[in-house]
Chain A
C-alpha cells in the first residue's frame, strides 16, 4: 500500500461529496395525492390515490379516511396501482359533502415506516 493510495481514497471521497447532486430519497414520503392535501373537490371521489417517493409494501400500509362525523369512509382494502408500486389506491365508500381527514402509515420496500395526515374537502 503506497502513501499516495492512502491519501487518495479519503480525498477523492470528500471531493465527490463536494459535487452537488439531485437528492436521492429513501423511505416513502407523500409526493402527491388525489384528492390533493388541503384541496377541494366537487364530485365525491370513489377512491383515494397517494403517490409516494418510494415503492411501498401494500400489505403493511394503512390509510384511514374519516368523514365530518368521525366515521371511517375507506373500505380498508388498500392496494398498489397496477405497474406502479409507488402509488397506493384506497377504495372509498360513497362520500357526502364535508371535510375528510386522511391518516396514512406507509411501509417502504427499504423496510422503513413513515406516516402523515392531511385533509381534503368534498363540496357536493
Chain B
C-alpha cells in the first residue's frame, strides 16, 4: 500500500492543531494559578487557544476534503468536493470528524465565555476521537482505542502545553514563572506515565514482536517515536532538576536556558507528532510480519 502524502500532511496538520489547542487550554484551566489569570501573557494565551481552535476546525475541513478525494479516487477538486457528502454521512471517518468538530465548536464557545475548564474538556474529547480515525479502532481489540485515546490526550497536554509554557516563562516574573513550571511539571509527569504505559500496551498488538520494529517504515517510525520520547524526558528532567532550580535561585541566564530547553523539547515533540501521523497511514508492523 502506498502512503498518500496529502493525507499524511492533512492528518499531521489536524493533529498539531488539536493537540496544541488542548495543551493551551489545559495550561489556562489547570496550570496558571488563579492569581496570575490577569498577568500580561495570559490573555495572549487565550488568543492563542482561540487561534488553535480555529486552526483545528480548518485543518479538519481540509483533511475531510483530502480524505474524500482519496476515498473516491477523485482526479480534481470538483470530484473531491462531490465525494465530501458521502464521506461525512456514509463512513466512520465522516462521523468521527463531525463529532470532533462539534467538540471543537463547543470548546470555542466555552473559551469565549471564559469557561476554560469546560473548553479544555471539550478539546480533550475532540483529541480523544483520533483513534477512531486510524488503526486502533479497526483491529478488533476493544481496549486498544481507549488506550490510544488516553495516549493522544496525554500527548496533547504535555507537548501542546510546551509553547504556552515557553511564553509564560519568558514573560512572567521569576517567582511566578517558577510556580507555573512546578505546576506544569506535576501535570507533565502524569502525562509521561500515561504515555509510557499506553505506548507499551498499544505496541504489543500493533508492532507484534521485535521483528515488527525492523519491518520497514512502520517499525522505523515506532523506534523514532521511542527515541524522541526518551530525548524529551531528558529535556524535561533538565528543566525540572537544573533550570527551574536555577531560576528559583535567581541565577543569571537561567530564564534563557529554560526557554531554549523548552523550545528543544517542543521541537522533539513536534517531530514525534509528525511520526505519529505517518504511523497512522502505514500498515502496522504486525501486519507486515503476518
With most chain B CB atoms within 10 A of its CB, the pick from A14, A21, A114 is: A21
Q: Within 8 Å CB of B135, what residues of A?
A: 26, 110
Chain A 13-51 per-residue mask, 1 if CB under 8 angstroms from chain B, else 0? 110111111111111010000000000000000000000
Q: Within 8 Å CB of B212, what residues of A?
A: 17
B280 → A minimal CB distance (Å): 8
Considering only residues 31-87 of chain B, those with a C-beta below 8 Å from chain A are 67, 70-72, 86
- What are the 3 A-B residue pairs with the smallest beta carbon separation, nearest first? A110-B138, A24-B205, A9-B196
Q: Are B71 and A13 in contact (CB under 8 A)?
A: no
Distance of A29 Cα from B139 Cα, bound (Å): 12
Q: Within 8 Å CB of A26, what residues of B?
A: 135, 138-139, 206, 283-284, 287
Distance of A18 Cα from B230 Cα, bound (Å): 19
19 contacts between A and B (CB under 8 A): A5-B233, A6-B234, A17-B207, A17-B210, A20-B208, A21-B204, A24-B208, A24-B284, A26-B284, A27-B1, A54-B140, A55-B138, A57-B93, A59-B90, A107-B91, A109-B92, A111-B67, A111-B91, A113-B71
Distance of A8 Cα from B230 Cα, bound (Å): 10
Q: Are B236 and A19 in contact (CB under 8 A)?
A: no
Q: Within 8 Å CB of A110, what residues of B?
A: 133-135, 137-138
Binding site for A on B (CB under 8 A): 1, 7, 67, 70-72, 86, 90-93, 133-135, 137-141, 144, 189, 192, 196, 199-201, 203-210, 212-213, 226, 229-230, 233-234, 236-237, 240-241, 281, 283-284, 286-287, 289-290
- Interface size on A, as a range, is 35 or more
A69 → B minimal CB distance (Å): 27
Q: Are B203 and A16 in contact (CB under 8 A)?
A: yes
Distance of A52 Cα from B192 Cα, bound (Å): 37
> B131: nearest residue on chain A (CB-CB)?
A110
In the complex, whether A108 has a CB less than 8 A from a CB of chain B is yes
Query: Taking chain B's interface residues, is the majority helix, strand, or loop, or is none over half, making it mixed?
Result: helix
Q: Within 8 Å CB of B90, what residues of A?
A: 57-60
Q: Are B134 and A59 in contact (CB under 8 A)?
A: no
In the complex, whether A10 has a CB less than 8 A from a CB of chain B is yes
Q: Are B226 and A18 in contact (CB under 8 A)?
A: no
Q: Within 8 Å CB of A54, what residues of B?
A: 138-140
> B90: nearest residue on chain A (CB-CB)?
A59
Binding site for B on A (CB under 8 A): 1, 5-6, 8-10, 12-14, 16-27, 29, 54-55, 57-60, 107-114
Q: Are A9 and B138 in contact (CB under 8 A)?
A: no
- Residue from the list B1, B133, B199, B290 in contact with A13, Cβ < 8 A: B199
Question: Contacts A5-B233, A58-B90 given; 13 further ones with Cβ under 8 A?
Answer: A1-B192, A1-B233, A6-B237, A12-B200, A16-B204, A18-B209, A19-B204, A21-B204, A21-B286, A23-B287, A24-B140, A57-B93, A60-B91
A63 → B minimal CB distance (Å): 15
Q: Within 8 Å CB of A23, what residues of B?
A: 208, 286-287, 289-290
With most chain A CB atoms within 10 A of its CB, the pick from B91, B138, B230, B287 is: B138
> B286: nearest residue on chain A (CB-CB)?
A23
B193 → A minimal CB distance (Å): 8
Distance of A26 Cα from B90 Cα, bound (Å): 20
> B89: nearest residue on chain A (CB-CB)?
A59
Q: Within 8 Å CB of A25, what residues of B?
A: 139, 284, 286-287
Q: Within 8 Å CB of B91, what residues of A?
A: 57, 59-60, 107, 109, 111
Q: Within 8 Å CB of B1, what residues of A?
A: 27, 112-114
Distance of A18 Cα from B208 Cα, bound (Å): 9
> B287: nearest residue on chain A (CB-CB)?
A25
> B67: nearest residue on chain A (CB-CB)?
A111
Q: Are B139 and A111 in contact (CB under 8 A)?
A: no
B93 → A minimal CB distance (Å): 5
Q: Within 8 Å CB of B7, what residues of A?
A: 111
